[in-house]
Structure 1
């Protein structure tokens, strides 16, 4: 396990989790304190290690979240006239964050200053970086990690993951754009500066191709500083040949290039017309 900002007592509680319940007040206090650290951004479930470029998962943080479902009782919480009944309360502290009416975030998620939350949902363990816009009806799943200056467009679904223990959360790195109604799930990774067109489905096993060269790229990843759209590739089965979903890289951007959104939209549209 990598170095963790959460107390080692979480590991002992995890080992004896089958015997825990809401009556175990000391255990509950330990877990609540741990998730408070996630809520404040003092700890994270996952991050990209700058040395290895690999996604590192703090299993102790994920264990704390799972333990909370055992140790917390269902309780009523309110947001204006709305009443909720859940084990996990709503998030209450949003320093420097614009929260539009209808936005929902659970305690244990963190949003850096400068984030804008349109009517959307952020689950426990989720992290959203500064300057990011989570647009209308977008969802940031449990433990998903969203970088800075990202735009998650309307209806985007960023998958969550709490179990199995070996699963890696979805990571969307800095300066990315994820188009409307796209789905990024199963530990997929959108690397720095990548732009995804509307309706893309990117999973951890999605095959990725370069449109200019035909080369196959690492699966489950949108390459850095690339413009990508959803496409299909033929695959033959006993019953015939079918189109299987894939990700197609149609353009490469210069690192750090700020792409005009109108030009980007035109590029996506032209690709659709060409098909």
Structure 2
């Protein structure tokens, strides 16, 4: 964690974490502190992680993540309903949607922040996630617990953005501003999609995925889609005692100009040249 960073959440969260095994819903004072901290996440006044503009590193607010995990200790199971649909859970549904378009069938849990201008098609946004202004969470897409999604991002139909809770210091998935994730793309295990990157349909990116530049053959940092690039899932032959096998990797097909606007038709044409759709 960056030394200059100071969590906006109360230090009492750290004290409660040290005695978390003893906490129950009967500890009302602890519950009030924890609920207050998660309310700050829900309102966007705190967040699980962010990209430090000076170091370009992902900074994790361990106290924020601890507040989420502690809530499972102090909140009891409760029944709630939306129309004919019933829930029985410790974590209630989100109620703050100022400036957010929520299409019927969309679900967001309390503790997730949705900035004004977000559009939720029938989708699922989990506990502790952050979704920036102008972002579209398309049909059947999922934003996992604590995942960080930037501004003006398009998560296409069926996209899976993975979640992470434990350990507290673990970095969540980060999707930076202006990114595009094609249909059924999966980004998990703390992987990072940098600003302006476009991922073709069905792309798989994990923290250990090897990344290669198609033009130069250069190997790039693992688990990251480079900024302002067009990427797809590919296979790279690797030799084992039992033979040669194609291992999945991320292939950078093209570098875009920084700030280049996303042209869906141009992107589709580019990907189709390589047998992939957006």
Hey, what's the Cα distance between the residues in 2 that align with 1:68 and 1:255?
41
2:128 to 125, 128, 134: 125
Structure 2 residue 62 is the aligned partner of structure 1 residue 62: no
TM-score, normalised with respect to structure 1: 0.98
2:243 to 240, 245, 249: 240
Match of 1:113 in 2: 116
Structure 2 residue 101 is the aligned partner of structure 1 residue 98: yes
Match of 2:55 in 1: 52
Query: How many residues in Structure 1 have an aligned counterpart in Structure 2?
Result: 273
Q: CA deviation at 1:79?
A: 1.5
Match of 2:190 in 1: 187
Aligned CA RMSD, in angstroms, stands at: 0.9
1:32-58 CA-partner distances (Å, limit 9, x unpaired)? 000000000010000000000000000
Q: CA deviation at 1:260?
A: 1.1
Structure 2 residue 34 is the aligned partner of structure 1 residue 31: yes
Q: CA deviation at 1:81?
A: 2.0
1:171-193 CA-partner distances (Å, limit 9, x unpaired)? 00000000110100011000000
CA contact (8 A) 2:140 2:159 kept: yes
Which region of structure 1 is more displaced relative to structure 2, 262-271 or 151-160? 262-271
Hey, what's the Cα distance between the residues in 2 that align with 1:76 and 1:106?
14
Counterparts of 1:193-212 in structure 2, within 5 Å, are 193-212=196-215
- Partner secondary structure for residue 266 of structure 2: helix
Counterparts of 1:4-15 in structure 2, within 5 Å, are 4-15=7-18
CA contact (8 A) 2:94 2:110 kept: yes
Hey, what's the Cα distance between the residues in 1 that align with 2:195 and 2:96?
28
Q: CA deviation at 1:60?
A: 0.3
Match of 1:166 in 2: 169
1:87-145 CA-partner distances (Å, limit 9, x unpaired)? 00000110000000000000000100000000000001100000000000000000000
Q: CA deviation at 1:150?
A: 0.3
Hey, what's the Cα distance between the residues in 1 that align with 2:18 and 2:61?
16
CA contact (8 A) 2:199 2:232 kept: yes
For structure 1, list consecutive stretches of 5 or more residues without a partner in the other structure: none
Hey, what's the Cα distance between the residues in 1 that align with 2:113 and 2:251?
32
Q: CA deviation at 1:164?
A: 1.9
Structure 2 residue 43 is the aligned partner of structure 1 residue 43: no
Structure 2 residue 259 is the aligned partner of structure 1 residue 259: no
TM-score, normalised with respect to structure 2: 0.97
1:19 to 22, 45, 65: 22
Hey, what's the Cα distance between the residues in 2 that align with 1:184 and 1:134?
14
Provide runs of 4+ in structure 1 moved above 6 Å.
Answer: none
For structure 2, list consecutive stretches of 5 or more residues without a partner in the other structure: none
